[in-house]
C-alpha cells in the first residue's frame, strides 16, 4: 500500500464539489516541526467537554471573567450572576494507560440578578478599585469582590453599553448605536458619580461603534466600516487620545466575534468594499485569514451579525472558535497551521451536527472552562476527554477525491488502512465513570468508513473496523474489498469515547481500463 496523500488535511469545499469536497469535523491538523517524523502531518482529536456541574441558573452562558488572584471568577448565566470558586481537587484516570488528571470541582454561589436574560455581557474588574463591573446594554452592575456586595448603578451619566474595557484603572464604555465612548471615574468604587464631560467620539469617519476591546493598553474602537485606536495619554479633560496614523479601513460585521490572540486581535469584518473577511491584526496592520472556501460559505449564511467567538490555547495550538447561531454551525481557525476545521456537537435524536455547545470561555485554574449556549452548565474543555458532556464526541473526515489522474479510468480499491493510536480504549474504572459522568461501556471502540462514487452527492453504507481494545497496541484498522469507482471520496467517522488521533492512512488501489 502507498500513503493516502491528502487524507490528513483541513476542511475545504470548493464551489463545485467535483473539484474539492473535504470536511474536517472535530479533528484538527498537526504539523510536525522536525525532519525525522514518520509523517509530516497528523490529525488530532478536538477537545471534549467534561461536566463541571450545573450552576442552577436558567439560561445561556453570557460571559466569564477571572478575578484578581485567579482563585475565583464571575459568570453570568441567563439573568443570574454567580461566583465560581474551587471546592476541591480530585485525581482522575482518563485513558487505558492511567494518565492522572488533577481536576478541581467548583462551587457556584449566587451574587446577583440582572435585568436582562439573554445576549452577551461584558465583564471587567478594576483591580485596586475592588469592583467587578458587568454591562448588558442598558444596565451597569457592580460587584465588590471584597465585601461581596452586588448592585445596579443608577448613575444618570451611564449611557448604556454592550462592551466594557479596563485600562490603567479606567472603565471604558461605548454608548450603543453611536460614536460615543466614555469612562467611569478612575478606580471607580461603585458610588462615585460619573463625570458627564468624560467622553469622546470615534469620528475620523461617520460610522458608529460596533465593538470595543482593549489590547496592550490601547483601546480599539471598531466601527461599521472603520477602526480607530486610542490610548491613555493622561489628558486633563479626558484621559484618552487618538493614536494618529493608525486608522484601519475595516469595520466589524458581528460585534461579539472580536477576540484577542497572541499576535493581536481577530474579528469577522466588513467594510465599504464588502463583507465576510476575517481579519487578524499584527501591530496596526490587518490580514484576512478567510480563504475562498470560508468566504464563499459565509456568503450563503442569511445572518452573520449574531456570530460570537473566543480564543484559547491547547498543546501548542491557538484556536479562534467562531459560532453562527442562526446557521447552527461553528468554524475554527488554527493560528499555528493556518487551517480551518469545524467544531460541532452531535444530537443523537436527529443524527445531525450542530454548533459547538460553548458560548463563553475562560482560562481558570489551569483549565479552559466554557459555558453552554442554552443551559447553565459549565464544562472543562480538554483533549483528555472523548465525550461532549453526556453526548458522543463525533469526529468526521471527508477526504479529497481519489481518481486515476493519468486518464480518468476506473480504479479497483483493494484496501485502506487508517493508523490510530491502538490500545487506548477507556477502561470501565470508577475514576473514568466519575470523570465522564456516566459509566464507560464501550471497551472495543470502532471506526466507520463509507464512500461516495459521485463526489459526495450520494453515499453508501457505513462499514466498521476496530480501533483496538485497551492494551491491544498492535491493532490495525483496515477495510478491504472496497469495490470499483472512477472518482471516489471516502468519509471516516469516530464516535466512541476513545483517543482518535490519526497518524495517517494508506490506500491500495489498482487502475483499470476504461
- pLDDT (tens digit, 9 = 90+) per residue, 249-267? 999 999 999 999 999 999 9
Cα-flanking dihedrals φ and ψ of residue 99, to 5°? -70, 125
Residue 178 in domain? no
C-alpha cell at position 448: 466507520
Q: Please tell me whether residue 434 adopts helix, strand or coil conformation.
A: helix
C-alpha cell at position 1: 500500500
Q: Please tell me whether residue 14 adopts helix, strand or coil conformation.
A: coil
C-alpha cell at position 476: 490495525
Domain of 412 in residue numbering reads as: 2-45+397-511
Give burial (CB, 10 Å; 0-12/13-18/19+) of 457. exposed
In tens, the pLDDT along 301-324 reads: 999 999 999 999 999 999 999 999
In this structure, what CATH number is given to the domain that contains residue 40? Answer: 2.60.120
Rounded CA-CA distance 77/380 in Å is 16
Q: How many CB atoms lie within 10 A of CB 264?
A: 18
Residue 15 in domain? yes
pLDDT over 50 (residue 145): yes
pLDDT over 90 (residue 512): no
pLDDT over 70 (residue 431): no
Q: How many CB atoms lie within 10 A of CB 190?
A: 21
In tens, the pLDDT along 187-219 reads: 999 999 999 999 999 999 999 999 999 999 999
Residue 371 in domain? no
Q: How many CB atoms lie within 10 A of CB 29?
A: 21
Residue 41 in domain? yes
Q: How many CB atoms lie within 10 A of CB 276?
A: 18
Q: What is the pTM of this model?
A: 0.94
Work out the pLDDT band at 472, boundaries 50, 70, 90.
confident
Residue 19 in domain? yes
pLDDT at 325: 97
Is there a contact between 394 and 494 (Cβ–Cβ < 8 Å)?
yes
Q: Which of 395, 489, 424, 482 is nearest to 18 (CA)?
A: 489
Rounded CA-CA distance 442/496 in Å is 7
Give 286's contacts (C-beta < 8 A, 6+ positions apart): 248, 250, 269, 279, 280
Residue 28 in domain? yes
Task: Please give the helix or strand (H or E) that residue 295 lies within, else none.
Answer: helix 292-299
Rounded CA-CA distance 133/150 in Å is 10
In tens, the pLDDT along 159-194 reads: 999 999 999 999 999 999 999 999 999 999 999 999
C-alpha cell at position 345: 456537537
Work out the pLDDT band at 397, boundaries 50, 70, 90.
very high
Q: Which of 149, 260, 249 is nearest to 214 (CA)?
A: 260
pLDDT at 95: 47
Average pLDDT (206-235) is 97
Residue 152 in domain? no
In tens, the pLDDT along 368-387 reads: 999 999 999 999 999 999 99
In tens, the pLDDT along 61-103 reads: 999 999 999 999 999 999 999 999 998 766 555 544 334 456 7
The total number of structural domains that make up the chain:
1
Rounded CA-CA distance 493/416 in Å is 14
In 62-158, which residue ranges form alpha helices assigned H by DSSP?
none
Residue 86 in domain? no
Amino acid at each position: 500500500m502507498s500513503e493516502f496523500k491528502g487524507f490528513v488535511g483541513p476542511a475545504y469545499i470548493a464551489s463545485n464539489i467535483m473539484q474539492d469536497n473535504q470536511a474536517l469535523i472535530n479533528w484538527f491538523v498537526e504539523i510536525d516541526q522536525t525532519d525525522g517524523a514518520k509523517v509530516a502531518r497528523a490529525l488530532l482529536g478536538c477537545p471534549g467537554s467534561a461536566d463541571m456541574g450545573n450552576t442552577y441558573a436558567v439560561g445561556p452562558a453570557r460571559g466569564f471573567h477571572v478575578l484578581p488572584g485567579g482563585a475565583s471568577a464571575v459568570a453570568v448565566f441567563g439573568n443570574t450572576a454567580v461566583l465560581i470558586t474551587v471546592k476541591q481537587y480530585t485525581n482522575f484516570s482518563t485513558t487505558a494507560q492511567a494518565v492522572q488528571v488533577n481536576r478541581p470541582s467548583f462551587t457556584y454561589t449566587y451574587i446577583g440578578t440582572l435585568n436582562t436574560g439573554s445576549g452577551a455581557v461584558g465583564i471587567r474588574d478594576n483591580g485596586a478599585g475592588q469592583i467587578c463591573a458587568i454591562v448588558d446594554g442598558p444596565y451597569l452592575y457592580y460587584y465588590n469582590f471584597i465585601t461581596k456586595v452586588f448592585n445596579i448603578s443608577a448613575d444618570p451619566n451611564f449611557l448604556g453599553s454592550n462592551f466594557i474595557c479596563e485600562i490603567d484603572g479606567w472603565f471604558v464604555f461605548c454608548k450603543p448605536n453611536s460614536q460615543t465612548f466614555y469612562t467611569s471615574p478612575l478606580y471607580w468604587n461603585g458610588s462615585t458619580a460619573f463625570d458627564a464631560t468624560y467622553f469622546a467620539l470615534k469620528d475620523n469617519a461617520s460610522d458608529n461603534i460596533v465593538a470595543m476591546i482593549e489590547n496592550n493598553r490601547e483601546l480599539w474602537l471598531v466601527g461599521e466600516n472603520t477602526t480607530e485606536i486610542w490610548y491613555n495619554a493622561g489628558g486633563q479633560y479626558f484621559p484618552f487620545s487618538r493614536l494618529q496614523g493608525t486608522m484601519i479601513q475595516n469595520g466589524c460585521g458581528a460585534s461579539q466575534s472580536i477576540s484577542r490572540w497572541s499576535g493581536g486581535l481577530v474579528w469577522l469584518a466588513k467594510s465599504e468594499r464588502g463583507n465576510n473577511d476575517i481579519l487578524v491584526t499584527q501591530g496596526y496592520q490587518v490580514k484576512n485569514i478567510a480563504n475562498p472556501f470560508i468566504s464563499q460559505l459565509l456568503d450563503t449564511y442569511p445572518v452573520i451579525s449574531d456570530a460570537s467567538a473566543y480564543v484559547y490555547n491547547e498543546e501548542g495550538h491557538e484556536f479562534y472558535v467562531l459560532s453562527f447561531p442562526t446557521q447552527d454551525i461553528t468554524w475554527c481557525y488554527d493560528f499555528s497551521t493556518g487551517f480551518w476545521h469545524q467544531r460541532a456537537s452531535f444530537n443523537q435524536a436527529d443524527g445531525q451536527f450542530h454548533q459547538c455547545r460553548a458560548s463563553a470561555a475562560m482560562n481558570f485554574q489551569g483549565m479552559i472552562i466554557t459555558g453552554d449556549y442554552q443551559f447553565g452548565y459549565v464544562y472543562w474543555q480538554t483533549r483528555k476527554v472523548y465525550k461532549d458532556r453526556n453526548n458522543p464526541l463525533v469526529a468526521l473526515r471527508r477526504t479529497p477525491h481519489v481518481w486515476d489522474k493519468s486518464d480518468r479510468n476506473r480504479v479497483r480499491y483493494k484496501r485502506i488502512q487508517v493508523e490510530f493510536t491502538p490500545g487506548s480504549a477507556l477502561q470501565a474504572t470508577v475514576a473514568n465513570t466519575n470523570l465522564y459522568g456516566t459509566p464507560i461501556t464501550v471497551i472495543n471502540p470502532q471506526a466507520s468508513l463509507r464512500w461516495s462514487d459521485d463526489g459526495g452527492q450520494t453515499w453508501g453504507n457505513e462499514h466498521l473496523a476496530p480501533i483496538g481494545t485497551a492494551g491491544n497496541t498492535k491493532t490495525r484498522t483496515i477495510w478491504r474489498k472496497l469495490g470499483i469507482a472512477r472518482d471516489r471520496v471516502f468519509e471516516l467517522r469516530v464516535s466512541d469515547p476513545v483517543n482518535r488521533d490519526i497518524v495517517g492512512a494508506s490506500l491500495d488501489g489498482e487502475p483499470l481500463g476504461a
